[in-house]
């Protein structure tokens, strides 16, 4: 124990000293969401600006802070590469000041191990234990993969980061420098549910059997599903993201994880974003494990759970079942994330189901989100070959196993009534129906 503590003290430095190791054209990598080392990333941006460094790149799977490297005047000096575009990075990506990395999240670790090499890996971790180990906390994600070929490894130690159970840890002997920055974690409380959210949540919950294992995405509709599931029994969790609603289900005794075929009695996730209540719940909680995203999102792992149910949001769906969940026309809005991974994983599960949910309209009922064809330039996230069920406030349409003609009619049935006649006309024009 004394040996590791002595090593820790030798490697301890302030942020300004740590980032001196970063040179022009360096590729810096940080894991996901709350794993971003806010203190080190900010200090690096300040140094780049002050000392005239150029071409520094900062990769991050999900940005939750509006930091200096996103500012317009940092163009050419330090740029951001988003692997999922949040509200903080969206404008920079859409204006071309930041990059975007398309990928299914399960492939992200492979990309870091084989194709994208980081000069610097830095991340926020929980405090070191007596054996010299740090936990990546609520941001396991791609951390070890990013580390695998990095030339320098820096840790930002934050006492507010929960120490989570699972496979994603790092030892002091692997690290080049340590910086302490104790600051409360970013919080993302659930917003109020709309009546449409509640209707969609109830439709989906009614189709989920007792004993199922679930994955929930982010947003009002998945949160509504979590609320509607409180009448169920013995559910399990295997989810890319651990959500606030999952805490409620575990504390209510709805989620027991006892029927899971793998990781029995454990909830499994790769990262989490929520409130302090959730972070406190996850701290040293052996009932929840965080693992690398190429394990959690592997369709072959997901498919080992019987009755696996995946629930995610989408933006628009066309009449053959192509779903765009990440762009507004050609403009990147979010990212593929793990949606395709879990849709495919549910497809491999005995009794599995996947649901893509959305409101039937946008812009005060002036635009149908069920389209004859996707908006020009839209990015297809979930292909017509993978899609299973689509849900709006007008019901659930099962597309898998249906012909193109049957799909068109099923989707028109859950479109807003004011657009159904127009969609029917378009379906005939496209020769989808006679």
**Rounded distance between C-alpha atoms, residue 295 and residue 292, angstroms:** 6
Beta strands in 181-339 (DSSP E): 213-216, 236-242, 267-272, 288-290, 308-313, 316-318, 323-324, 327-328, 331-332
Asked about 240 being catalytic, the answer comes back as: yes
8 A C-beta contact, residue 253 and residue 247: no
Q: Give the 3-state secondary structure of residue 20.
A: helix
Give φ, ψ of 327 to 5 degrees.
-140, 155
Q: How many CB atoms lie within 10 A of CB 186?
A: 14
Q: Which of 36, 95, 174, 240 is catalytic?
A: 240
Q: Give the 3-state secondary structure of residue 32.
A: coil
Please state the separation of Cα 322 from the chain's center in Å.
21
Q: How many CB atoms lie within 10 A of CB 419?
A: 20
What is the β-pairing status of strands 99-100 and 367-368? unpaired
8 A C-beta contact, residue 124 and residue 160: no
Compute the CA torsion angle 414, 397, 345, 237 (nearest 10 deg): 70
The residues carrying an active-site annotation are 240
């Amino acid at each position: 124990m004394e040996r590791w503590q002595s090593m820790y003290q030798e490697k301890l430095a302030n942020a300004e000293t740590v980032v001196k190791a970063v040179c022009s054209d360096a590729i810096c990598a940080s894991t996901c969401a709350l794993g971003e080392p806010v203190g080190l990333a900010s200090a690096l941006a300040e140094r780049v600006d002050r000392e005239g460094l150029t071409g520094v790149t900062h990769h991050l799977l999900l940005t939750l802070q509006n930091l200096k490297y996103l500012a317009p005047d940092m163009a050419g000096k330090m740029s951001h590469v988003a692997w999922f575009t949040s509200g903080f990075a969206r404008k920079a990506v859409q204006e071309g000041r930041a990059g975007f990395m398309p990928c299914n999240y399960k492939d992200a670790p492979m990309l870091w191990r084989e194709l994208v090499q980081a000069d610097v890996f830095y991340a926020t971790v929980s405090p070191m234990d007596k054996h010299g180990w740090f936990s990546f906390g609520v941001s396991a994600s791609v951390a070890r993969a990013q580390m695998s070929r990095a030339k320098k490894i820096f840790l930002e130690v934050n006492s507010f980061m929960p120490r989570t159970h699972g496979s994603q840890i790092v030892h002091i002997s692997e690290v080049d420098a340590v910086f302490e920055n104790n600051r409360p974690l970013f919080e993302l409380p659930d917003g109020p549910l709309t009546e449409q959210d509640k209707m969609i949540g109830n439709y989906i919950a009614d189709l989920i059997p007792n004993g199922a294992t679930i994955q929930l995405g982010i947003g009002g509709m998945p949160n509504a599903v979590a609320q509607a599931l409180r009448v169920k029994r013995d559910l399990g969790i295997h989810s890319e993201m651990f959500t606030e609603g999952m805490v409620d289900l575990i504390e209510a005794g709805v989620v027991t994880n006892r029927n899971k075929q793998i990781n029995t009695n454990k909830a499994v996730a790769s990262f989490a974003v929520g409130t302090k209540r959730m972070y406190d719940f996850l701290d040293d909680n052996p009932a929840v494990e965080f693992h690398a995203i190429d394990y959690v999102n592997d369709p072959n792992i997901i498919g080992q759970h019987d009755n696996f149910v995946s629930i995610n949001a989408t933006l628009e769906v066309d009449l053959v079942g192509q779903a765009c969940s990440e762009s507004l026309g050609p403009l990147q809005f979010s990212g593929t994330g793990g949606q395709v991974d879990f849709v495919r994983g549910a497809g491999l599960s005995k009794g599995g189901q996947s649901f893509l949910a959305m409101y039937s309209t946008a812009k005060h009922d002036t635009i149908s989100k069920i389209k004859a064809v996707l908006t020009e330039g839209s990015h297809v996230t979930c292909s017509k070959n993978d899609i299973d069920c689509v849900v709006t406030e007008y019901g659930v349409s099962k597309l898998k196993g249906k012909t193109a003609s049957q799909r068109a009619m099923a989707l028109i049935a859950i479109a807003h009534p004011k657009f159904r006649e127009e969609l029917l006309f378009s379906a005939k024009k496209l020769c989808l129906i006679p």
